[in-house]
Structure 1
Amino acid sequence: MSLQEVNKHAVLPPIISRSDKEFLESMQRYIITETKKVGCNEEGPAEEYYTIYRNVFDKHHREILFQIIDYVNSYKSILTSIKKEYDAFIETIKKGRRTAFYLHGKLKVMAAEPTALVYHQRRAIQLEAKVRIIENNSKVIQSQIEEMKQLRAEYDKKEVKLCASTRQLWRPIPGMTLQDSVNLDALNKYKQHLEDKYIKCKQDMSTQYVPAQKKADLDEEMIVLLKRRDLAESLNKDLQFRLTFSEKAGDIVFAYGEQNTYHRPNCLALAQIIYNECGLHKKALLCLCKQGQIHEAVEQMQQFKDFTFDDLINLITACPQAELVKCLTQERDGKPPFLSFALAVLHLFSVDMKKVGIKLLQDVSKGGKDEIEHLVMGDSFCSLEKWQDMANICLQNGFENLSNDIMSILRSQAGVSEISEDDSTNLMEHVFW
């Protein structure tokens, strides 16, 4: 608001003096400064404008009043009345706004009351339903308690009657004579005996007998284990797959078993299955021999009948066991042996398996001359020269009796004579003469 606008609407007559002009300009500057500080525009808010104008009026009240008295002393009461009415009007407007704000809030509360009432009614219905359920449960529990009390009272009555009927003090104490039953020392001794017996029974109950609850727990555990087993079997059926068997796979499993002692039995069994599926019966027999199943291996060998001398030699070389050599060099069910005993022993000594060969010689020497003669006479694979080499091996390793027995059996054969190394007799002389 400019100075011209103030002069245009002024009630007082124009102030021409310099002091009046400066006074009005100071008031105008104050109003503009306060308006900028508050940050309100010309459109409002009206309350802030009222506060600014009231402050400027209060600040310059005395000066304005003195100036008004100087110019028009008769307007003093009128202006004072106008100011009071203006203040009262502003206060009435403020009060009306406060009342409207309060009534607006109250109106919102009243509008929300029906919804809250519905919620409270719904919650009340839910709580009433819960109360009815709890009351019904309480009645059932109370009836069960009353029934238990009644049964307990009946049981107590029966127990009292039973105790009253069995309580016959005139009868003698079991295990005591009538004379001992009236003797205090005997009674104390018998009491101690009963206490010891009671303690022993309690100990036996805790150590020798299993509680019924323990049995029930074990039954539950067994049921759970059976269910797990059934589940595992069903999963196993679903997850089964067919292996592709090959000789290479069998060789890998066999080599792994030879290197790892802990897994050796399982690896040999698996390698045997793979070799059988591939038709490699020779390697399957080697797996059986490695597992110690010598007799089963020999039985399978009789079924296939396609083993050569070299195959048998390779078998005892790969699995140098005295029991295997015995089974291969013995007759079975009236059939000749698979391998010559002499050839087997000579081969073992030739490949530095002297320990196994000596074990075989020890076992043969225990059987006596009859067993040696049976081996020599029943050997259709080995020549007499090989048996003579066998005798030399026995002599070199300390088996002199065994060597002499072999040489004696060889000499006893018709047309056989011992030829010394120095003898120059021609073996084929009888052919040319």
Structure 2
Amino acid sequence: MNLFTCHFVFLKVIENCTNYKGILTSIKQEYDEFIEAIRKGQIDANHLQAKLKSLTSEPTTLMYYRKRAAELEDRIAIINQDSDKIKCELQKRLKQKAVKSPQITKKAPKKEQINPSALIPGMSIEDSLDIDALEKYQQQLDQKKQQLIASMNTKYVPIQKKQELDIKLSLVLQEREEAEQINQKLMDSYRKKRVIADAISSWAKSNKNITLFETLEEVIKKESDLKDDSAAANVFDDLEPKKSMEAESLLEYVERFNELLVSGQYKAAAIYAAHSPRGILRNIETMERFKAVVPHKDQDPPLLLFFEAVIGCSNLAKHPVNAALTLEGVKCALSNDKVELVVHWVTQQRVTFSESLGDVIWDYGEKEHQHKVTCLALAQLIYRKCSSLRKAALCMCVQGQIQGALDYAYQSKRFLLDDYLFLLKKCPTMELINGLTKEWDGKPAALSVGQAVLSLLCTDHKEYGFKLLENINQCGENALEQVILNDVVCTAEGWVEIAEECSNNNYRQLSERIMSVVISQDGVVEIPPKEEDAKIMEHIYM
């Protein structure tokens, strides 16, 4: 039911109920005023949202204008250089032309001489002839001169003064932020102590059914949960009497952030963005603004300062940095050789784990060998957190933790056949191959011998498959035969293919041994070549 229908129904009710017409009329009047107040609030909220969007995009426009101005200044400098060259060339041509043409002597222009008989500006003829008037006029000129000198010393200052003031301002802002942090810590400490004191007081007045320790433990748990829920909120989040007031607070916050960023206070701007209410500045758009800033040679890049502030104050349990921002932050830190910073973020669970994040750290370890061990450990942790089982086990294998990788793979119920083959192809070692083709802690082998050898033959690690067969063959006279006969996964055709590969790679004895076992099986007959077929059929035509 819309507002028009409600209004119409209200009028009908007032007309029919004559006894309560005055009361219903006053109620309707208050109802109309309430509806009008809601409409006005919606209009104000929409206006403030539009203003917020325009303010957010204003610094970007200013940045582009400055960039365009710098480009135009470069072009003007080039044009001036070309103009100077043309002037020089023109003067040379004029000199050459003057030498060739007959010289014409010209009289030098006379310098303007001061006429003592001319009138003095601001004085009459009578005053200019009076000594007292001339001295008085001279004193006035001296006073004007002194005033100009004083104004030069007071009203105008060199540009270095502005730089000094900017440095002082940044120091004062830093001190204010440190004071705010200390104040916040003191407020948290006071709140905790106050909660504990109130809990003890209420427990003393109660019937004491539960112990004081249990009461305090429950109160502390509630306090910690409440603190976590409000961790990302700012001082502006507590001021929510109306949506309009909240929007105004957000506008003030964005304006202050824009001032810091435009004035070059990148660290303060990064901290401001990290603690923004409702996370309005912890996003990709703000990251792009920091990315567009050209860093100085002797200073940390503004983009790195942004990620240090944003990821440093995040919490994976309550307010994590999203996967896209996490990936960009880790890439930025690694591009600046800040591996220890990435280690801190990952170990303290400040980021959102994803398989792509693990891949970035893995690739960096492959390029920078001095950090390979650290990167492998971080990648293993990330892959396990995001349930990328095969890559987590691969990290363990590359680090030499074969037994741990096998134990992790066999205990995981989600480790599939493709995952075992992935490990076998990416990191083939005899220890891993033996672990995958034998029983493990009472569990059946993940791969059969024939299956493992066929998988290795498709890669550049064929020698590991041949070495496995030779080790089995050396274990006893019938060891290889038992392996082939008990292999229910690899078919006879598969073993024939293995035997052919052994023969092609100069393992003839091993190939003959495999073929003899395969041919001896029931239903398997070796097909002779064409020449032997002709010899067998000779007696028919004789």
Shorter chain as denominator, the TM-score bin is 0.3 to 0.5
Taking structure 1 as the reference length, what is the TM-score of the superposition? Answer: 0.39
Instruction: Specify the structure having the higher radius of gyration (Cα).
Output: 1
